[in-house]
Amino acid sequence: MNRSSTHRSLRSLLLSVGAVGLLFGLAFGLGLAPDASAGEAKAVAEAAEQVATGDVRGEVRLRKRWRELKDRSEIVVYLEGVPGDPPAPPEAVHRIRQHNKSFSPKVSAVVVGTTVEFPNDDKIFHNVFSMSRSMKFDLGLYKSGTSKSVVATRSGIVDIYCNIHPSMAAKVLVLENKHFAVTGEDGTFAIEGVPAGTYPVVAWQANGDAYRGEVTVSADEVTTLEIEMIAGRAAHEEHTRKDGTPYGRYR
pLDDT of amino acid 42: 57
Report the DSSP beta bridge partners of residue 79.
201
Average pLDDT, the chain: 85
pLDDT of amino acid 26: 40
User: How much is the average pLDDT of 135-160?
Assistant: 97
User: How much is the average pLDDT of 91-117?
Assistant: 97
Q: Which residue has the higher pLDDT, 236 or 214?
A: 214
pLDDT of amino acid 51: 47
Contacts of 34 (CB under 8 A, 6+ apart): none
Band (pLDDT 50/70/90 cuts) for residue 233 is confident
Q: Residue 83 and residue 105: Cα distance in Å, rounded?
A: 30
The mean-pLDDT minimum among 48-57, 59-68, 99-108, 143-152 falls in: 48-57
pLDDT of amino acid 87: 80
Q: Which residue has the higher pLDDT, 39 or 163?
A: 163
Range 94-175: architecture per CATH: Sandwich (2.60)
User: How much is the average pLDDT of 29-57?
Assistant: 61
Three-class DSSP category at 46: helix
Sign of CA dihedral 243, 138, 88, 60: positive
Are 211 and 62 in contact, with CB atoms under 8 Å apart?
A: no
Are both 54-86+177-234 and 94-175 of the same fold? yes
Q: Class of the 54-86+177-234 domain? A: mainly beta
Band (pLDDT 50/70/90 cuts) for residue 40 is low
User: How much is the average pLDDT of 43-68?
Assistant: 79
Q: Which residue has the higher pLDDT, 155 or 39?
A: 155
Query: What are the tens digits of pLDDT across the range 199-220?
Result: 999 999 999 999 999 999 999 9
pLDDT of amino acid 249: 64
Q: Which residue has the higher pLDDT, 1 or 204?
A: 204
Q: Could you tell me the residue ranges of all domains in the chain?
A: 1-51, 54-86+177-234, 94-175
Q: Residue 207 and residue 236: Cα distance in Å, rounded?
A: 11
Q: How far is CA 29 from the centre of its chain?
A: 41
User: How much is the average pLDDT of 28-54?
Assistant: 56
Strands (E) in 105-250, as ranges, are 107-111, 115-119, 128-132, 135-138, 147-151, 156-162, 169-175, 180-182, 188-195, 197-204, 211-217, 222-230
User: How much is the average pLDDT of 7-15?
Assistant: 45
- Alpha helices (H) along 157-247: none
pLDDT of amino acid 46: 54
Q: Which residue has the higher pLDDT, 181 or 85?
A: 181
Q: Nearest to residue 114, comparing CAs of 96, 98, 92, 97?
A: 92
Band (pLDDT 50/70/90 cuts) for residue 50 is low
Band (pLDDT 50/70/90 cuts) for residue 84 is confident
Q: Nearest to residue 98, comparing CAs of 30, 19, 162, 16?
A: 162
Q: Nearest to residue 138, comparing CAs of 147, 150, 129, 146?
A: 129
